[in-house]
């Protein structure tokens, strides 16, 4: 069976269709995934593996590549306009020049194909997806948007219909769920909704909880510097594409330049997520519509440039493996909010509004353990999100991220980004700073993260620094 991806804007358009039309098209796409070249499909002239087939008032245009179908659905009568505006990303990955050779290297094709897959995030729950070129899928990785699956769409729609039929009686018989640390995902979904920071700093605010880092807060954090010792919190970065050009200036001189090609979101590169990066059914930060605010030209609300002044504040490290006396957090025992409280007390630190909270879970030791990730992923339990909101944390840095499985919550702890406006420092390297804290005998320091000023960027690679 072939796996299915939509061209990005086609995935967004599919969501707007009538439910009955969605089901009809999804069934046909599912059939094509099992047999991509049945009788009745038309091969597009001048292409190697691109086809189209009519279903009612719509035409399904798709390309077969390896074990994937890259899909575009257009309404008949609008084919030319939609084809030109939506297919160019896939066309670039699969095009050939007049000599019959691929226009782009395989790594570039994979990069663009992965970018096309990202457009399906609004239709599917997070899960394991194809890795970016040069980034093999590894155990303990952070969730990547899943590819669109017609069977899953149909199953979800059926579940919604069943739920709607029984909803009135269920609502009248039960009180609204309480936000507790019981482990019930429904409770944490309610906690997120009830405690959102949307509008707290104005309806048009694009800074989020970084607003809590005032000039006074930064000055106080600078007072934590005593020895001047610095520790990097970034993993070593090896981009999947690294091209070098050496040139000469003539006798006696020369220089070198390099080109880097990579996707920093995911579970490899240390980076900061901007407020626009993820969302749920209620929208991105401030409830804005991702289909409106995010286009192929980038993010037009909540992009990374709103933190261009830097994230400089007091950093607090919570060293979970040291507290537990174990090398790393295990799948069966995720980090919980009450444990963060207990470790902070044991370390003699207080997590205060505007702090950068760094949770060390033992990524290096976990990766060395050889776990294949088949039972899930270790990391932070959703109750940690409640701890973060209780303490008005400005930034969460972590090495092992959301614990999985986590029920129906699409973003168990990542949800602090768009619900509370808390900046996320993903894939932080925390073993060295944990060792430094133990040697210094203190678990707080001056924290500095300076994102690149990427216009309309959804985040930025970063090399954060802890200074003692």
CATH number at residue 413: 3.50.30.50
**Burial of 220 (C-beta count, 10 Å sphere; 0-12/13-18/19+):** middle
The CA-atom distances, in angstroms, between 15 and each of 280, 291, 293 are 14, 10, 16
Do 211 and 314 belong to one domain?
yes
Do 305 and 426 belong to one domain?
yes
Sign of CA dihedral 289, 292, 293, 297: positive
Do 305 and 435 belong to one domain?
yes
Assessment of whether the complete model's pTM goes beyond 0.85: no
State the pLDDT confidence band at 13, using cuts at 50, 70 and 90.
low
Asked if residues 272 and 425 have their Cβ atoms less than 8 Å apart, the reply is yes
Asked if residues 393 and 380 have their Cβ atoms less than 8 Å apart, the reply is no
Do 309 and 454 belong to one domain?
yes
- When the pLDDT of each residue in the chain is averaged and rounded to a whole number, the result is 79
Q: Quick check: is 142 in a domain?
A: yes
Q: Quick check: is 403 in a domain?
A: yes
State the pLDDT confidence band at 273, using cuts at 50, 70 and 90.
very high
Lowest mean pLDDT among 182-186, 242-246, 328-332, 357-361: 182-186
Does residue 420 have a pLDDT over 90? yes
CATH of the domain at 27: 3.30.2310.20
For 6, residues 6+ apart whose C-beta sits below 8 A from its C-beta are 14, 70, 71, 72, 73, 116, 119, 120, 123, 148
Q: Quick check: is 187 in a domain?
A: no
Of 238, 241, 12, 14, nearest in space to 112 by CA: 241
Q: Let me know how many helices (H) and strands (E) the chain has, helices first.
A: 15, 20
The highest-confidence range among 54-58, 161-165, 310-314, by mean pLDDT, is 310-314
Do 138 and 227 belong to one domain?
no
- pLDDT of 131-175, one tens digit each? 333 333 333 333 333 344 444 555 554 555 455 444 433 333 333
- pLDDT of 177-227, one tens digit each? 334 334 444 489 999 999 999 999 999 999 999 999 999 999 999 999 999
Do 127 and 227 belong to one domain?
no
Of 102, 94, 92, 39, nearest in space to 64 by CA: 94
In the listed set 93, 124, 153, which residue is the last one of a domain according to the structure? 153
In the listed set 153, 176, 208, which residue is the last one of a domain according to the structure? 153
Give the pLDDT score at 285. Answer: 98
Determine the 3-state secondary structure of 11 from DSSP: helix
Which structural domain, as residue segments, surrounds residue 145? Answer: 3-153
Give the pLDDT score at 47. Answer: 72
- pLDDT of 109-138, one tens digit each? 444 444 444 433 322 333 333 333 333 333
Asked if residues 446 and 222 have their Cβ atoms less than 8 Å apart, the reply is yes
Indicate the angle between helix axes 383-390 and 337-347, nearest 10 degrees.
50
Q: Quick check: is 163 in a domain?
A: no
Question: How many domains does the chain fold into?
Answer: 2
The region that residue 72 occupies, defined by phi over 0 for left and psi between -120 and 50 for alpha, beta otherwise, is beta
The CA-atom distances, in angstroms, between 181 and each of 79, 187, 245 are 51, 8, 55
Q: Quick check: is 300 in a domain?
A: yes
Lookup: tokens for 360: 């060390």
**Burial of 156 (C-beta count, 10 Å sphere; 0-12/13-18/19+):** middle
């Amino acid at each position: 069976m072939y796996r299915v991806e939509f061209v990005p804007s086609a995935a967004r358009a599919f969501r707007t269709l009538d439910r009955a039309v969605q089901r009809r098209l999804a069934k046909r796409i599912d059939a094509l995934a099992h047999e991509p070249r049945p009788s009745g499909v038309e091969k597009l002239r001048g292409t190697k593996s691109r086809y189209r087939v009519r279903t009612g008032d719509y035409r399904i245009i798709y390309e077969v590549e390896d074990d994937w179908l890259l899909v575009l659905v257009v309404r008949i009568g609008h084919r030319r306009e939609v084809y030109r505006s939506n297919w160019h990303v896939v066309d670039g990955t699969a095009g050939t020049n007049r000599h019959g050779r691929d226009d782009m290297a395989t790594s570039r094709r994979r990069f663009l194909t992965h970018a096309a897959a990202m457009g399906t995030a609004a239709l599917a729950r997070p899960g394991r997806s194809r890795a970016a070129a040069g980034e093999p899928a590894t155990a303990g990785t952070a969730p990547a948007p899943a590819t669109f699956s017609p069977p899953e769409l149909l199953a979800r729609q059926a579940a919604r219909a069943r739920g709607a039929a029984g909803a009135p009686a269920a609502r009248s018989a039960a009180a609204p769920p309480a936000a507790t640390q019981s482990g019930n995902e429904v409770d944490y979904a309610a906690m997120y909704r009830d405690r959102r920071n949307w509008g707290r700093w104005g309806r048009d605010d694009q800074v989020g909880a970084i607003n809590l880092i005032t000039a006074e807060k930064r000055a106080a954090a600078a007072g934590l510097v005593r020895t001047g010792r610095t520790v990097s919190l970034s993993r070593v970065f090896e981009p999947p594409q690294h091209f070098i050009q050496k040139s000469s200036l003539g006798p006696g001189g020369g220089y070198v330049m390099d080109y880097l090609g990579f996707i920093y979101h995911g579970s490899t590169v240390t980076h900061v997520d901007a407020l626009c990066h993820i969302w749920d059914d209620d929208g991105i930060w401030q409830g804005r519509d991702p289909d409106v605010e995010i286009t192929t030209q980038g993010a037009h609300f909540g992009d990374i440039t709103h933190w261009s002044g830097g994230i400089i504040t007091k950093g607090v490290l919570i060293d979970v493996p040291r507290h537990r006396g174990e090398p790393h957090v295990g799948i069966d025992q995720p980090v919980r909010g009450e444990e963060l409280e207990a470790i902070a007390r044991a370390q003699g630190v207080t997590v205060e509004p505007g702090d950068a909270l760094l949770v060390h879970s033992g990524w290096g030791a976990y990766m060395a353990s050889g776990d294949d990730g088949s039972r899930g992923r270790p990391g932070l339990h959703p109750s940690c999100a409640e701890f973060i909101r209780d303490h008005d944390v400005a930034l969460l840095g972590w090495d092992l991220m959301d614990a999985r499985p986590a029920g129906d919550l699409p973003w168990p702890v990542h949800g602090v980004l768009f619900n509370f406006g808390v900046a996320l420092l993903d894939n932080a390297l925390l073993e060295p700073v944990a060792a430094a804290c133990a040697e210094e005998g203190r678990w707080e320091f001056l924290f500095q993260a300076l994102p690149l000023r990427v216009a309309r960027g959804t985040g930025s690679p970063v090399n954060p620094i802890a200074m003692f």
